[in-house]
């Protein structure tokens, strides 16, 4: 509970008197590029395989001849858009981005770089942390869209390569009963997850005390806490928004 | 001028600073001297507000600093240049970018002016060729010098250096001391230098404070430091052989002189 209070206090610091908008903008773009480039590869690999595996497993379970094969395409679409793309991507990003945020900030803290900023009269939270959070809010939804696209593509490839269903059937399935709100829902989720991961990891890194060992510990803690937060938020989002 | 009064600080039940008073005047080399672990860095951090003292007051030119509002602290801090003991360079930036950083954030200089200033500062610390290197590619002493260049880049009113010449060869060390002295005089800066280097204390210390176990045991001009009767300071100064020998020679000379005088008197 005390930690949660400290966390809220930390968040309130983010919006206090910061640097000029131009600096904030430049810093955010820098951070966004780092997050994007750092994680696009792993997100692409994970998404493609998740889509492929989902397709293969559904077709394995779908033995009833009365159900058209195109249902596989439909189910892959529903599963990836609603759950797999936003949540799995975010969990992957919690590992990748969360640990790098916490490790970076933790190192800056123990090598007194944060203090150096403070002594210059710069608000270190708004200079270091705010751009990271804004960048995550900006980049996560983009990565989730990429992930949706690649998962569905992965399913298509797996389906047609394994001969489970033809490309035509898959596409028919994709087009069945499409609900645009599901995309909105996934994007809302990705924004929520982005905020949770970046703020929790920043908090862990920013308040690191001690030496290199503690930086490692802060990274691990950042990832564990972010993942738990993402899963809880996933459940709550489903309850509230669906 | 910076005044501190009755500064106390305890870490986990261990008293690190135990009621320190002091006045640091501008245009002078104020030096904090003391053995490792006596709380010199902690005192410096208290003065700039990175460590919150348990008790005590700190004023910058009459303006209350400790426990004041963050806005006012930040305003005062924008006039501070500080070299950290571990240099604290931003490791995601090149050497030039490090030195340019405070100029970019705190002044409205144009890009050309900033680059000129960066080059000037790097040249003053003898690193004009290292501008494009990353901090991880530098030696410890080079990092120190970049840290000094970054501290003096904006024209600060207060300059704090935590062991500016530790880890440097004697020649470079003198250059750095000389540089700090020069800008202190030129811009009438309030400078505080933490050191355990007796050479620089003897050469440059206008106002030396000796800290021992969190207390200030001695204060004065460096020219009077050799005559001190404070045992701890004596032990500190004469811990190395050269200094001890120097003192011995002095003592012998003194004894000889006295003997001569006695003889004269006897005659
Ligand atoms: N953040 C901290 N938490 C707990 N103890 C601390 C902290 N910072 C400093 N100390 C303790 O305060 C004491 C003084 O430390 P300080 O860094 O001021 O020494 P110093 O005089 O600068 O020594 P050196 O010459 O080796 O740099 C040390 O015993 C140290 O263990
Ligand atoms: Mg120190």
CA-to-CA dists, residue A213 to A106, A131, A201, A217, angstroms: 10, 26, 17, 6
Q: Residue B260's pLDDT is what? A: 86
Q: Residue A81's pLDDT is what? A: 92
- Cα(B114)–Cα(A6) distance, rounded to whole angstroms? 39
At B23 the three-state DSSP class reads strand
Q: Is B16 in the pocket of ligand 1 (CB under 6 A)?
A: yes
Q: Which of A120, A124, A132, A210 to mutate to test the interface with B (most CBs of B within 10 A)?
A: A120
Q: Residue B235's pLDDT is what? A: 83
A172: exposed, middle or buried (Cβ count in 10 Å: 0-12, 13-18, 19+)? middle
- Cα(B253)–Cα(B251) distance, rounded to whole angstroms? 5
Do B212 and B40 meet the contact criterion of CB atoms below 8 Å apart?
A: no
Q: Residue B5's pLDDT is what? A: 93
Q: Which of B49, B84, B104, B151 to mutate to test the interface with A (most CBs of A within 10 A)?
A: B84
Which helix (H) or strand (E) covers residue A146, if one does?
helix A130-162
Domain segments of chain B: what residues? 2-79+157-223
Do A230 and A94 meet the contact criterion of CB atoms below 8 Å apart?
A: yes
pLDDT tens for B148-159 read: 999 999 989 999
Do A140 and A93 meet the contact criterion of CB atoms below 8 Å apart?
A: yes
Pick the atom of ligand 1 nearest to B39's CA. 18
Test B80 with A112 for CB contact under 8 angstroms.
no
Angle A6-A104-A12 (CA atoms, 0-180°, nearest 5)? 25
At A68 the three-state DSSP class reads coil
Q: Which residues of A touch B (CB under 8 A)?
A: 17, 19, 23, 107-108, 111-113, 115-116, 118-123
Nearest CA to ligand 1 atom 8: B42
Question: Helix A99-110 vs helix A180-206: angle between axes, to the nearest 10 degrees?
Answer: 20
Reported in sequence order, the residue ranges of chain B that DSSP labels E, i.e. its strands, are: 2-11, 14-24, 29-34, 55-60, 63-64, 80-83, 158-162, 190-195, 207-212, 215-220
Q: What is the DSSP string of B70-125?
A: HHHHHHHHTTEEEE-TT----TTS-HHHHHHHHHHHH----HHHHHHHHHHHHHHT
Cα of B141 to nearest chain A Cα, Å:
16
Cα of A112 to nearest chain B Cα, Å:
5
Two tokens, residue B115: 């680059």
Nearest CA to ligand 1 atom 17: B41
CATH number of B2-79+157-223: 3.40.50.300
Give chain A positions within 8 Å (CB) of B49: 118
Half-sphere exposure of B92 (CA within 13 A, CB side): 12
Domain segments of chain A: what residues? 19-241
Report the chain B residue with the minimal C-alpha distance to residue A17. B71
Cα of A217 to nearest chain B Cα, Å:
21
Half-sphere exposure of B251 (CA within 13 A, CB side): 7
Question: Burial letters for A205-232: b for 16+ Cβ neighbours within 10 Å, e otherwise?
Answer: bbbbeeeeeebeebbebbbebbbebbee
pTM: 0.89
Two tokens, residue A70: 């195109």
Ranges in chain A, pLDDT < 70? 17
- Cα(A194)–Cα(B246) distance, rounded to whole angstroms? 67
- Cα(A130)–Cα(A198) distance, rounded to whole angstroms? 9
Do B25 and B207 meet the contact criterion of CB atoms below 8 Å apart?
A: yes
Q: Residue B229's pLDDT is what? A: 81
Q: Residue A109's pLDDT is what? A: 96
Q: Residue A65's pLDDT is what? A: 78
pLDDT tens for A210-241 read: 999 999 999 999 999 999 999 999 999 999 98
End-to-end distance of chain A based on CA atoms, in angstroms? Answer: 30
Helix and strand element counts for chain A (H, E): 11, 0
Two tokens, residue A21: 């908008």
Angle A27-A29-A33 (CA atoms, 0-180°, nearest 5)? 120
B245 close contact with A: CB closer than 8 A: no
Closest CB to A120 among B45, B89, B106: B106
Q: Which of B46, B69, B99, B102 to mutate to test the interface with A (most CBs of A within 10 A)?
A: B102
- Cα(B151)–Cα(B121) distance, rounded to whole angstroms? 10
Ranges in chain B, pLDDT < 50? none
Of A162, A146, A177, A185, the C-alpha closest to A75 is: A177
């Amino acid at each position: 509970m005390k930690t949660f209070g400290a966390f809220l206090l930390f968040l309130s610091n983010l919006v206090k008197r910061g640097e000029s908008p131009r600096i904030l903008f430049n810093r955010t773009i820098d951070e966004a590029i780092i997050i994007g480039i750092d994680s696009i590869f792993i997100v692409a690999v994970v998404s493609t395989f998740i889509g492929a595996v989902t397709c293969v497993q559904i077709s394995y379970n779908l033995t009833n001849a009365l159900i058209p094969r195109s249902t596989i395409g439909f189910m892959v679409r529903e599963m990836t858009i609603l759950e797999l793309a936003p949540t799995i991507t975010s969990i992957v990003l919690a590992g990748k981005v969360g640990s790098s945020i916490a490790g970076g900030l933790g190192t800056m803290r123990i090598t007194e770089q944060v203090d150096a900023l403070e002594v210059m009269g710069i608000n270190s939270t708004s200079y270091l942390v705010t751009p990271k959070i804004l960048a995550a809010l900006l980049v996560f939804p983009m990565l989730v869209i990429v992930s949706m696209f690649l998962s569905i593509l992965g399913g298509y490839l797996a389906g047609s390569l394994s001969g489970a269903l033809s490309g035509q059937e898959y596409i028919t399935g994709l087009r069945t009963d499409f609900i645009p709100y599901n995309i909105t829902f996934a994007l809302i989720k990705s924004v929520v997850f982005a905020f949770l991961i970046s703020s929790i990891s920043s908090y862990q890194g920013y308040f690191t005390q001690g030496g290199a060992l503690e930086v490692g510990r802060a990274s691990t803690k950042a990832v564990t806490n972010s993942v738990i937060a993402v899963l809880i938020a996933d459940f709550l989002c489903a309850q509230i928004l669906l | 001028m910076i005044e501190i009064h009755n500064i106390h600080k305890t870490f986990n039940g261990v008293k690190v600073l135990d009621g320190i008073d002091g006045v640091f005047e501008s245009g002078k080399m104020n030096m904090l001297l003391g053995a490792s672990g006596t709380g010199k860095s902690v005192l410096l951090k208290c003065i700039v507000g990175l460590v919150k003292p348990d008790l005590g007051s700190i004023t910058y030119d009459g303006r209350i600093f400790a426990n004041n509002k963050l806005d006012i602290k930040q305003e005062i801090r924008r006039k501070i240049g500080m070299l950290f003991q571990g240099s604290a360079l931003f490791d995601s930036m090149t050497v030039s970018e490090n030195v340019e950083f405070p100029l970019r954030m705190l002044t409205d200089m144009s890009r050309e002016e900033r680059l000129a200033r960066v080059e000037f500062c790097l040249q003053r610390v003898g690193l004009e060729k290292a501008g494009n290197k990353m901090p991880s590619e530098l030696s410890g002493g080079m990092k120190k010098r970049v840290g000094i260049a970054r501290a003096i880049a904006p024209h600060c009113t207060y300059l704090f250096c935590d062991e500016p010449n530790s880890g440097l060869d004697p020649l470079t060390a003198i250059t750095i001391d000389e540089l700090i002295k020069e800008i202190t005089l030129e811009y009438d800066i309030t400078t505080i230098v933490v050191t355990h280097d007796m050479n620089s204390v003897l050469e440059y210390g206008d106002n030396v404070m000796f800290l021992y176990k969190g207390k200030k045991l001695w204060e004065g001009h460096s020219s009077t430091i050799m005559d001190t009767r404070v045992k701890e300071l004596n032990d500190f100064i004469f811990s190395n052989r050269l200094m001890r020998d120097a003192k011995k020679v002095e003592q012998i000379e003194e004894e000889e002189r006295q003997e001569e005088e006695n003889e004269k008197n006897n005659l």
